[in-house]
Amino acid sequence: MAKTDSIIEDALHLPRESRALLAEKLLESLDYEEGFEISPEWTEEIRRRCREIDEGTAALVSSEQVFKELADDLG
């Protein structure tokens, strides 16, 4: 088994919250652009929103609902 396969297999046995955190970190690593800076204010806003999602206090809306409302607004 390749090293990547082994890592995936191990990751799939983690608790749900740990898998979510791992997925978040991996996705963040793909979006990283060297030299791209985020202001401290945006960094805090991102952290706040992620914390609200993790705590279940954010009002999440499905993409289907967003697109439906947008289509309705546009007419």
Tens of pLDDT, residues 48-70:
998 899 899 999 999 999 999 99
Quick one: tokens of 75? 């007419």
pTM: 0.47
Would you state the structure tokens that stand for residue 11, as one six-digit string? 């990751």
**In this predicted model, which residue has the larger pLDDT, 15 or 32?**
15
More confident residue, 10 or 24: 10
Contact present, 67 and 73 (Cβ < 8 Å): no
Q: Which two tokens stand for residue 22?
A: 């791992």
Query: Measured between alpha carbons, how far is 37 from 20 in angstroms, rounded to an integer?
Result: 25
- Determine the Cα–Cα distance for residues 36 and 40; give it in Å rounded to an integer: 13
- What domain range includes position 25? 3-74
Judged by DSSP in three states, 16 sits in helix
Determine the pLDDT at residue 28: 82
Return the higher-pLDDT residue of 27 and 14.
Answer: 14
Task: Provide the domain count of the chain.
Answer: 1
Percent share of the chain, pLDDT over 70:
95
Q: Which two tokens stand for residue 67?
A: 């697109």
35 phi-psi bin (left φ>0, alpha ψ -120 to 50, beta other): left
